[in-house]
Copies of this chain bind each other. A is one copy, B any other.
Amino acid sequence: MIKVTIWNENRHEQKSQEVRDVYPQGIHGAIASFLKEEEFQVKIATLDEEANGLTDEVLNNTDVLLWWGHIAHEEVSDEIVDKVQQRVLEGMGLIVLHSGHFSKIFKKLMGTSCDLKWREANEKERLWIVDPAHPIAEGLGEYIEIEREEMYGEHFDIPAPDELVMVSWFEGGEVFRSGCTYHRGNGKIFYFRPGHETYPTYYHQGVQQVIKNAINWAKPTNLPRPIYGNAKPLEKISVKN
């Protein structure tokens, strides 16, 4: 059973009635709700908890970590970010949602600015599947349509994804690489674009399906972390003068 931890900044929910109206149990609660129907063991962690919710015990007992953050990226401590990075390199899966593109952990793992264009204009998004062989597309059709979302537009300043699974079309004229996979060390990372706090995106069945698929895809591979450092030869080396 895959051990999933949903990390949510959980600040919009405290500050805004509009957000609470959409997500009365928080964004984390909405995500937990549809994950619990599956064979996942789900835990919640939020910014204002001890160690930003990510104690060693939590991290060491997480197979796949989901990350939603927006207005408080800077409040996540650098020490915790380093630990999360270390856990990814050791094999923990990481699924970065929407505005998490600007989180410390995503920027650290990508090595780029992770910047993009954005606009809040109640516009339509259509996520086209461009890699129908990918397990993250399991159970979907040709595209996912979301009636109203925030726009994210190219250029998205990320490394070219190892695999590009989805590309978004926006009503206002932009496109976006919306479903991107990466391997980093022993770990797997998936970035998934939709999920603005004022829209009911996490109740959308297609969005839920992608997140479930991504968890299954990102679960750790059973393989020890490689041995680094000074290494004895495995074969005889000829003597040279």
Oligomer copy total: 4
Docked Cα-Cα span, A130 to B173, in Å, equals 15
Q: Is the CB of B151 within 8 A of A231?
A: yes
Residue of B at shortest CB range from A108? B111
Docked Cα-Cα span, A126 to B153, in Å, equals 13
Docked Cα-Cα span, A174 to B128, in Å, equals 8
Interface positions of A from 45 to 100, Cβ below 8 Å from B = 85, 89, 91
Q: Which of A1-9, A29-37, A164-172 contacts B (4 or more CB under 8 A)?
A: A164-172
Q: A128-B174, A155-B226 are in contact. Are A133 and B235 (CB under 8 A)?
A: no
Q: Is the CB of B182 within 8 A of A155?
A: no
A207 CB within 8 Å of chain B: no
- Neighbouring B residues of A85 by C-beta, 8 Å: 111
Q: Is the CB of A133 within 8 A of B183?
A: yes
Q: Is the CB of A154 within 8 A of B133?
A: no
User: Which of B108, B147, B231 is A153 in contact with, Cβ under 8 Å?
Assistant: B231
Q: Number of contact residues on A: which range applies? A: 35 or more
Q: Is the CB of A162 within 8 A of B163?
A: yes
User: Which of B89, B110, B229 is A117 in contact with, Cβ under 8 Å?
Assistant: B229
Q: Most B CB atoms within 10 A — which of A135, A172, A188, A221? A: A221
Q: Is the CB of A164 within 8 A of B162?
A: no
Mark interface residues in A137-170 (1 if CB within 8 Å of B CB, else 0). 1111110000110010111110110111001111
Q: Is the CB of B159 within 8 A of A182?
A: yes
Shortest distance from the beta carbon of A26 to any chain B beta carbon, whole Å? 25
Q: Is the CB of A132 within 8 A of B169?
A: no
A17 CB within 8 Å of chain B: no
9 A–B contact pairs at CB < 8 A? Answer: A117-B228, A137-B221, A139-B223, A141-B224, A154-B226, A159-B184, A163-B183, A169-B169, A169-B173
